[in-house]
Structure 1
Amino acid sequence: MKRIALPAALAAAVMALAGPVAFASAEGPAASSAAAKKKTTKKKTTKKKTTKKKTTKAKALLVCRRGCPYSSIQKAVDAAKPGATVRIKPGTYTEGVTVKDTQDKLKIVGLGTKPEEVVLEGKGAKRADGNPAQNGIFVDGADGVEMRNITAQNFPANGFFVRNCDDYVMDHLVAGFNRAYGLYAFNCIGGRMTYSVGYGHGDSAFYIGQTPVQEKPKQSLISHSEAYENVLGYSGTNSKYVTIQQSEFYNNGAGVAPNTLQSEKFPPALDGKVTDNLIYWNNFNYFKADSKVKALPAATGGFNYPMGVGVVLFGTTNWDVRANLVFGNFKWGIMSVSDPTYEPATNKNNKVRYNVMGAAFDDANGTDIWTEGTGSGNCWENNSAGATYDPGSQPEALLYPKCNNPVNNGDVVQIAEVAEYLTQSEGQENSWKKHPHPPRPDRKPIDGQGG
């Protein structure tokens, strides 16, 4: 995957606005003798044996289609002890792989020069028990498992899925056209998703959700990654302690969407950062009949996910959206909205600041920044010159307060606008402010098409 390159002028603009940006780090006998005191009687002296501990190096298990000790990844994983490495030669493996909760610190590594050379194929894939495989790799409760340099595609559920874990590494992975999620972490503490790509998912390419509450939080990181042609680029229900940085979200229905819902434990979505990302052209209308991507039922219903939006803060607390480049999203660049039916999903203490918005790229968002004004302590400041704020019934200074005086009041005009928008499906596109985009190397906008 290519690293994100910014034109020098834009990079300078971000630095001028934001100043120094701090990013979360990716990583992370002596023997005794006795003599008898009585005449000729001596007590036996005993020495404790000092046994040297053997340091055994974790075994590497090699997988290939023919001529290796293992012809399937699952067989190698089944034979692996904690800390072992499963090494996979290039090829296509039509199987789903499960890692048991006893296999902490297992490493599963593709040996190709790029992730596309080692492919887990979901069409026709089976689990070891003969049932259809739902996931490419499913880590069920093991801690510190690493997955590197692999592609997982066309699975009925997810590409790479970890749950109930303490730490994980997903690095240089590709997830394509899995039904639900690409890289998916659920009920985990800490972890990294880096240098990876996700496309064609019915929910999101990257997901970190139901993060347990922690007194001394362990951070989760998404960085140097790319999401396109998904319902959502990033989604995280009740996600916490997450940093999303130096990544690219484009041609999704919406780009980055942390959220709070009743469907998962540990509300709300808390203490996150979205910083130094490219978030653009998120105008994918997946409701259209010709769409190759079909949204999961959770994305549709009485209220639908918003399309045409770069960043969605839905019921978040203490999220900082800072120093991102946000442009060419035909409805809103960055939106903030609470759920009036669920108190934990009330936006609180979020900051939207130092972002470079559409005008700076000659590629306007429909409106750069939108809120319905609910919640408390939310603020907007120091976004780029010419940034536009969607007007409500209140003066702009009250609807979008600065961070030194963040007093919020719900705005009935804005509330009515978002309610009307979210009850539409394919028709959301009718209110978009469409225009041609300046070209970008190796990128083609979808702009409402079904993909």
Structure 2
Amino acid sequence: MPTRRVHHLAAATAAATALTTLLATLAAAPAAHAVGFLHVVRPGESIQRAVDAAHPGDTVRLLAGTYPGSVRITTPGLTLRGAGRDTVITPGTGTENACATAGHGICVDGTEAAPLPDVTVEALAVTGFRRNGIDASGTTGLTVRATYVHDNAQQGISQEISTRAVIVGNRSTGNGQSGVFLANYAYREGGAPDTGGTLVEGNELTGNRIGVTVRRLRGLAVQGNEIRGNCGGVFVVGDEGVPRAGDLDVRHNRVVANNLFCPANPRLGAIQGAGIVLTGVEDARVTDNEVRDNVGTSDFSGGIVLFKSVVGAANARNTVTGNRLSGNSPADIADRDTGSDNAFSRNTCARSEPSGHC
């Protein structure tokens, strides 16, 4: 037999053997998880069990109904989607997971060193929790959309040490602190990091202590929101920390009749009739907002108010321009700060403190 034919037969036999081995291995291996798998949860079933079984990119879909128990998300790229306001998450035993132990409704948990990416929470209601309705920490690219977060004891939607969030089209009402709360850290000090373009847009924020609070952050926008019937509308809060809070936009919001009275707490004085308030902030832009009928007698009362921070840090280089103000008392625009380099221009209003800012 020619040598070449022997070699060819040996090669063909080896290839057939390899193919048979590969097919046997594939047959014995478990099926790969499909990207974007849908997990459907019905009332009476465990949301947490479905979340824990999900892989990155999956969707956990909740049918209409009431679901007792907190939910903790640690899977990147997960979507938790309800059927709208008829999907309601309420407190359970309080011991089902770390989120429940902390007193929150839905937790999205990464870390500062390894932020959890691209989680979406949408089209559901969260109510009755002793702390925050939706609590996010150590995330990047989080989306919270079309939720109804109401009557929670602290924040409605809360986020800390996170970047690139989109909080859009939510209704947050009747919460003990802020409808939307954004901070560097919720419970410790530190300079103001850049959020990389976090957006708070198109939300309805009513009946809270404050509609939107932005504390010690930079590089974000609060825009196009309906903010009414709170004690205060928008608070942008900074201090002497470095980098300082600021370089952000508050624009195109409707801030109306935030006239509830909220007594002082250990961090902040009493609040009533406060529209948009800057304290200890630099390089912020407050533009093209409708601010009217905010009336009260607290230090923060008025339409657009600049006030020194709780540690006495002055506002610096902020611009207040193109806003439409009316019916605010004691003033439509009030600069009650010691800073002298804040700019006011093209605002339509009747009264300012001091005069000349309208």
Distance in 1 (CA, whole Å) between partners of 2:336 and 2:233 is 20
Distance in 2 (CA, whole Å) between partners of 1:303 and 1:326 is 22
Distance in 1 (CA, whole Å) between partners of 2:306 and 2:147 is 31
| Aligned-partner SS, 2:139 | coil
**TM-fit CA distance, 1:308:** 1.1
Gaps of 5+ in 1: 1-39, 288-298, 403-451
Who is 1:367 aligned against?
Answer: 331
Who is 1:445 aligned against?
Answer: none
* Shift in CA distance, 301/278, structure 1 to aligned 2, threshold 3 Å: same
Structure 1 counterpart of 2:210, which letter? L
| Aligned-partner SS, 1:317 | coil
**TM-fit CA distance, 1:210:** 0.6
* Shift in CA distance, 80/281, structure 1 to aligned 2, threshold 3 Å: same
**2:341 is the alignment partner of 1:380:** no
* Shift in CA distance, 130/276, structure 1 to aligned 2, threshold 3 Å: closer
Give the percent of matched residue pairs that are identical in Structure 1 and Structure 2: 25
**What are the Cα deviations for residues 81-100 of structure 1, in whole angstroms up to 9, with x where unaligned?**
11111000011111001112
Distance in 1 (CA, whole Å) between partners of 2:205 and 2:227 is 5
* Shift in CA distance, 281/160, structure 1 to aligned 2, threshold 3 Å: same
Picking from 108, 117, 139, the partner of 2:108 is 139
Who is 2:352 aligned against?
Answer: 389
Picking from 93, 114, 124, the partner of 1:150 is 124
**What are the Cα deviations for residues 217-276 of structure 1, in whole angstroms up to 9, with x where unaligned?**
6201111111111111011110221211111111111100010157xx865222111111
**TM-fit CA distance, 1:303:** 4.8
Distance in 2 (CA, whole Å) between partners of 1:322 and 1:154 is 35
Picking from 327, 340, 351, the partner of 2:319 is 351
Picking from 323, 334, 346, the partner of 2:288 is 323
**TM-fit CA distance, 1:324:** 0.7
Who is 1:31 aligned against?
Answer: none
Gaps of 5+ in 2: 1-6, 20-31, 111-115, 186-191, 296-300
TM-score by length of 1: 0.65
Q: Please show how residues 123-202 of structure 1 align to structure 2 within 5 Å.
A: 124-128=93-97, 132=101, 134-141=103-110, 142-202=116-176
| Aligned-partner SS, 1:316 | coil
**What are the Cα deviations for residues 64-96 of structure 1, in whole angstroms up to 9, with x where unaligned?**
125xxxx11111111111111100001111100
* Shift in CA distance, 250/55, structure 1 to aligned 2, threshold 3 Å: same
**What are the Cα deviations for residues 100-159 of structure 1, in whole angstroms up to 9, with x where unaligned?**
2xx11110000x2xx320001126554247964611110111211100001111101111
Q: Please show how residues 62-73 of structure 1 align to structure 2 within 5 Å.
A: 62-65=40-43, 71-73=45-47
Distance in 2 (CA, whole Å) between partners of 1:172 and 1:347 is 34
Residues 133 and 155 in structure 1, CA contact (< 8 A), matched pair in contact too: no
**2:203 is the alignment partner of 1:233:** no
Structure 1 segments (4+ residues) deviating >6 Å: none
Structure 2 counterpart of 1:108, which letter? L
Who is 1:224 aligned against?
Answer: 202
**What are the Cα deviations for residues 323-353 of structure 1, in whole angstroms up to 9, with x where unaligned?**
11111011310101123735xx431111111
Higher percent of residues as strand: 2
Q: Please show how residues 269-308 of structure 1 align to structure 2 within 5 Å.
A: 269-287=245-263, 300-301=265-266, 303-308=268-273
Distance in 2 (CA, whole Å) between partners of 1:55 and 1:274 is 43
Distance in 2 (CA, whole Å) between partners of 1:255 and 1:302 is 17
Q: State the Cα RMSD in Å.
A: 3.3
Residues 126 and 133 in structure 1, CA contact (< 8 A), matched pair in contact too: no
**TM-fit CA distance, 1:175:** 0.9
Equivalenced residues, count: 324
Distance in 1 (CA, whole Å) between partners of 2:268 and 2:141 is 34
Distance in 2 (CA, whole Å) between partners of 1:137 and 1:165 is 14
Structure possessing the higher relative contact order (Cα contacts under 8 Å, 6 or more residues apart): 1
Who is 2:81 aligned against?
Answer: 109
* Shift in CA distance, 131/139, structure 1 to aligned 2, threshold 3 Å: closer
Residues 261 and 267 in structure 1, CA contact (< 8 A), matched pair in contact too: no
Who is 1:88 aligned against?
Answer: 62
TM-score by length of 2: 0.81
Who is 1:335 aligned against?
Answer: 305
* Shift in CA distance, 302/314, structure 1 to aligned 2, threshold 3 Å: closer
| Aligned-partner SS, 1:75 | helix
Distance in 2 (CA, whole Å) between partners of 1:131 and 1:270 is 34
* Shift in CA distance, 236/305, structure 1 to aligned 2, threshold 3 Å: farther
| Aligned-partner SS, 1:180 | coil
Residues 340 and 346 in structure 1, CA contact (< 8 A), matched pair in contact too: no
Who is 2:87 aligned against?
Answer: 118
* Shift in CA distance, 266/230, structure 1 to aligned 2, threshold 3 Å: farther
**What are the Cα deviations for residues 353-408 of structure 1, in whole angstroms up to 9, with x where unaligned?**
111111xxxx4443101112422531111001x431123xxxx45xx5x9xxxxxx
* Shift in CA distance, 346/88, structure 1 to aligned 2, threshold 3 Å: same
| Aligned-partner SS, 1:77 | helix
Residues 239 and 311 in structure 2, CA contact (< 8 A), matched pair in contact too: no
Residues 127 and 133 in structure 1, CA contact (< 8 A), matched pair in contact too: no
| Aligned-partner SS, 1:181 | coil
Distance in 1 (CA, whole Å) between partners of 2:154 and 2:63 is 27
Residues 314 and 337 in structure 2, CA contact (< 8 A), matched pair in contact too: no
